[in-house]
Structures are given as C-alpha cells and as structure tokens.
C-alpha cells in the first residue's frame, strides 16, 4: 500500500458527461501528479500540482482540468467525455517538487460508453 488513495475505483459513464476523480496523497506529500494509461496512448503524464499550485503540465486535454485543495487532496475533472477517454487514471504523490520519488495510487478505471 503506497498510502495514496484514489476514488472511485471504477467509473462507468456515457459520452458527453463530466466526471471527477479524487486523489489523496500520502501524509506529508505536497506534490500530486496525474497520469492517464490507455491502450491507444500508453502512459501519459497529465499534470502536476505542488502545494496548491500547478507545477508542470503534460499532455492534458483542454476538456480536462485539475486542482489541488488546501488539504492537499486533488481532483481531476474530465468533461465532454469521449470513448477515447476510457483509461486508467493514476494519481501519484511526492514530498517535494522534483518528482524523482513518486508513490502511485491504485488508479481509477474510467469506462466511457
């Protein structure tokens, strides 16, 4: 158990809908990272937050947004969902900003029908 929690574990929704994925980092970690793992695109880094502020941005679509709250949990919002958004979404956390030692959560499996 990495200490990173993600909810929900599974999510099934229809095209065009909007969902919110939640991540709680390990106790004491200030950085949160979001990743998407899909059959088509493989593993992709989406975005990093550090202590509430966006730190780095990867291949995140404009339909996707994220934020990190004062209690350090993070949410990834996915809107206008398409079939291709079906994927496993991972959250990871680390103590600092460097990202060299990240702890991954178990992931949220999103299925868009």
Do 15 and 4 form a contact (C-beta atoms < 8 A)? no
Query: In angstroms, rounded to a whole number, what is the distance separating the alpha carbons of residues 68 and 6?
Result: 14
- Tell me if 45 contacts other proteins by CB under 8 A: yes
Contacting residues for 72 by C-beta, under 8 A, at least 6 apart: 24, 25, 29, 30, 32, 51, 52
What number of other Cβ atoms are within 10 A of residue 107's Cβ?
A: 18
In the list 5, 7, 13, 44, the residue contacting other proteins (rule: CB under 8 A) is 44
Name which of 9, 99, 6 is nearest 55 in CA terms: 99
Site for other proteins in 23-42 (CB under 8 A): 33, 35, 42
In the list 78, 102, 110, 112, the residue contacting other proteins (rule: CB under 8 A) is 102
| C-alpha atoms less than 13 angstroms from C-alpha of 34 in its C-beta half-sphere | 31
Site for other proteins in 49-88 (CB under 8 A): 55-58, 88
Q: At its nearest, how many Å lie between other proteins and the CB of residue 37? A: 8
Q: At its nearest, how many Å lie between other proteins and the CB of residue 63? A: 21
Residue 92 or 112: the one with the smaller Cβ distance to other proteins is 92
Question: What residues make contact with other proteins under the rule CB under 8 A?
Answer: 2, 33, 35, 42-45, 48, 55-58, 88, 90, 92, 97-102, 104, 106-107
């Amino acid at each position: 158990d990495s200490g990173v929690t993600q909810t929900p574990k599974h999510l099934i929704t229809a095209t065009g809908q909007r969902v919110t994925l939640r991540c709680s980092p390990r106790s004491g970690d200030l950085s949160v990272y979001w990743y998407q793992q899909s059959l088509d695109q493989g593993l992709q880094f989406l975005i990093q937050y550090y202590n509430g502020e966006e730190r780095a941005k990867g291949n995140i679509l404009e339909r996707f947004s994220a934020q990190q709250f004062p209690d350090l949990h993070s949410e990834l919002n996915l809107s206008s969902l398409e079939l291709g958004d079906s994927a496993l979404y991972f959250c990871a956390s680390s103590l600092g900003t460097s990202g060299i030692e990240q702890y991954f959560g178990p992931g949220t499996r999103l299925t868009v029908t």
